[in-house]
Amino acid sequence: MTKIIELKKLKKHYPILGGVLRRQINSVKALDGIDLIVNRGDCIGIVGESGCGKTTTGKAVIKLHPATGGNIIYYPKDNSANGSKTGIDITAMSGSKSRKIGLTGKMQMVFQDPTTSLNPRMLIKNIIAEPLRTKGGFSSRQMHEKVIELLNLVGLTKDHLLRYPHEFSGGQRQRIAIARAIATNPELLVLDEPTSALDVSVQAQILNLLKKLKDEFNLTYLFITHHLLVVKYISTRIVVMYLGKIVEIADTQDLFDNPMHPYTFALFSGIPSTDGKAVSSRIVLTGDVPSPIDPPAGCRFHTRCPFVIDICKKHPPQLESVNNNTTHQVACHRKNEIPELVKNSFGKTGS
Ligand SMILES: Nc1ncnc2c1ncn2[C@@H]1O[C@H](COP(=O)(O)OP(=O)(O)O)[C@@H](O)[C@H]1O
Ligand code: SF4
Ligand SMILES: [Mg+2]
């Protein structure tokens, strides 16, 4: 496995301005120090309740929103072919330097709602060609041919070139957004709830298209969703986030078979099985998600955790491996006890 991206203590705090002078009076700690290694070919699912920092993670990785702290390290493909493991810190890299190292267009994002992410005044051919123009180096003829090729790849045709976004269904619009995202031959795609705004009937088609493109072009995905069955279907690994932090990471099947963090158990409680019953023990969380402006001290989950003890309120738990399994990491002071505690308090565990 070769790395493509490594996040080190990555932070994104959005400033809150106030007073007549519009000075910064506080900040939203949307992303508050996350560590994550993404390997080439991974499909990493990022899950967690609304507001936990999933979209912010995606935007920080592709540098749509510059990080407030920490580092984003990019490992070029050619380096890995040479056996070199040198990464490049791209956190504060300028556009021209990115272009110089060939990073322009290598990381793209598909947004949740194609109605707002596609410019309603632009023709489809221009929407898809836009990233090619930004990257540069294409003649108009090359661009035209590439746009047709991309339309075909996502299941549309050249008859769609001279139309506007409103002439398409939601599913077709998301296909156009995907064509635009893959136009520059990216290596990594951030997919931010790409099927959530679509009719149930077309969600599976878009998921299958994304799976096909991933295989065909050896893509790496960061797949953001709050839909656990979607993430189970498409992801190789899953990251569980809570209030700007990662609380658990594991390979997909391992996470579903052996969840360790109380919050993961709570998330899984909501998954219905085919016979309509919950597949795991039902932990119903009490209280609201605390504000990311002033998150709780210690473990951020302690205000809602049924297993909270004193240390949880003072010391933030670190993300650590469990049972010598380096691929499964949990941030909880009581990680080794939790499955048993859940079983005794709430019934059966796992899915
Ligand atoms: N541009 C912004 N300015 C200020 N706060 C923001 C901005 N974008 C997101 N936030 C806040 O950051 C937190 C995380 O948001 P987000 O990453 O969108 O969560 P998610 O995608 O998991 O629902 C939320 O509290 C949200 O209100
Ligand atoms: S560290 Fe404590 S409060 Fe946080 S999840 Fe673990 S048991 Fe619950
Ligand atoms: Mg979001």
Ligand 2 binding residues, C-beta < 6 A: 262, 299, 301-302, 305, 307-308, 312, 317, 332-334
Longest dimension (CA), the chain: 67
What is the C-alpha to C-alpha distance for residues 83 and 106, in angstroms, rounded to an integer? 21
Same domain, 106 and 222: yes
- Clarify whether residues 202 and 266 are in a common domain: no
- Domain of residue 22 covers 3-235
Looking at the fold, whether 261 and 231 belong to one and the same domain comes out as no
pLDDT top residue among 343 and 346: 343
Question: Using a 6 Å cutoff on CB, does residue 55 contact ligand 1?
Answer: yes
Over residues 304-327, the mean pLDDT reads: 93
- CA proximity to 129, closest of 155, 99, 105, 101: 105
In a domain, 17, yes or no: yes
Joined tokens for residue 296 = 């709780």
* 225, part of any domain: yes
Ligand 2: atom nearest CA of 263 is 5
Identify whether residues 276 and 228 lie together within a single domain: no
User: 351 CA to middle of ligand 1, Å?
Assistant: 30
Residues 260 and 231 placed together within one structural domain of the fold: no
225 and 300 belong to one structural domain:
no
Residue 37's SS3 state is: strand
Q: φ and ψ at 213, to 5 degrees?
A: -65, -35
Please check whether residue 242 lies inside any domain of the structure: no
- Atom of ligand 2 minimally distant from the CA of 313: 3
pLDDT at 75 over 60: yes
Q: Say whether both 222 and 288 belong to one domain.
A: no
What's the pLDDT score for residue 259? 94
Any residues with CB less than 8 A from the CB of 126 and at least 6 apart, and which? none
Task: Please count the structural domains in the chain.
Answer: 2
Q: What is the pLDDT of residues 279-308, one digit of tens each?
A: 556 787 877 889 999 999 999 999 999 999
pLDDT given for residue 77 in this prediction: 86
Q: Which residues contact 308 (CB under 8 A, 6 or more apart)?
A: 299, 302
* pLDDT tens digits, one per residue of 41-50: 999 999 999 9
219 with 258, same domain? no
Residue 269: pLDDT above 70?
Answer: yes
C-alpha of residue 293 to centroid of ligand 1, in Å: 11
The token duo for 269 is 């409680």
SS3 23: strand
* 341 falls within a domain: yes
Is residue 82 very low, low, confident or very high in pLDDT (cuts 50, 70, 90)? Answer: low
pLDDT band per the 50, 70, 90 thresholds, residue 127: very high
d(CA 250, CA 238): 6
pLDDT number for residue 79: 64
Q: Which residue has the higher pLDDT, 281 or 268?
A: 268
Task: Calculate mean pLDDT across residues 69-93.
Answer: 83
In the predicted model, what is the mean pLDDT of the chain? 91
Q: Count CB-CB contacts under 10 A for residue 177.
A: 25
Q: What is the pLDDT of residue 281?
A: 60
| Distance, CA of 174 to CA of 163 (rounded, Å) | 15
Boundary (domain end) residue, out of 209, 235, 261: 235
Residue 155 lies in a domain: yes
Asked whether residue 34 is assigned to any structural domain, the reply reads yes
Q: What is the CATH number of the domain that holds 216?
A: 3.40.50.300
Last-in-domain residue among 189, 204, 235: 235
**pLDDT value at position 201?**
86
Counting residues of the chain whose pLDDT is more than 70, the rounded percentage is 94
Residue 351 maps to a domain: no
Tokens of residue 5, six digits = 């991206």
Instruction: Identify the bridge partners of residue 322 per DSSP, sorted by sequence position.
Output: 325
Look at residue 278 in the predicted model and tell me its pLDDT: 45
| Rounded-to-integer distance, Cα 141 and Cα 164, Å | 21
| Each residue's pLDDT tens digit, 197-207 | 898 889 999 99
Question: What is the pTM assigned to this prediction?
Answer: 0.93
Picking from 126, 131, 80, 82, the residue whose alpha carbon sits closest to that of residue 106 is 131
Mutate which of 27, 28, 54, 68 for ligand 1? The one with the most ligand atoms within 8 Å of its CB, which is 28
* Two structure tokens written together for 66: 């510059």
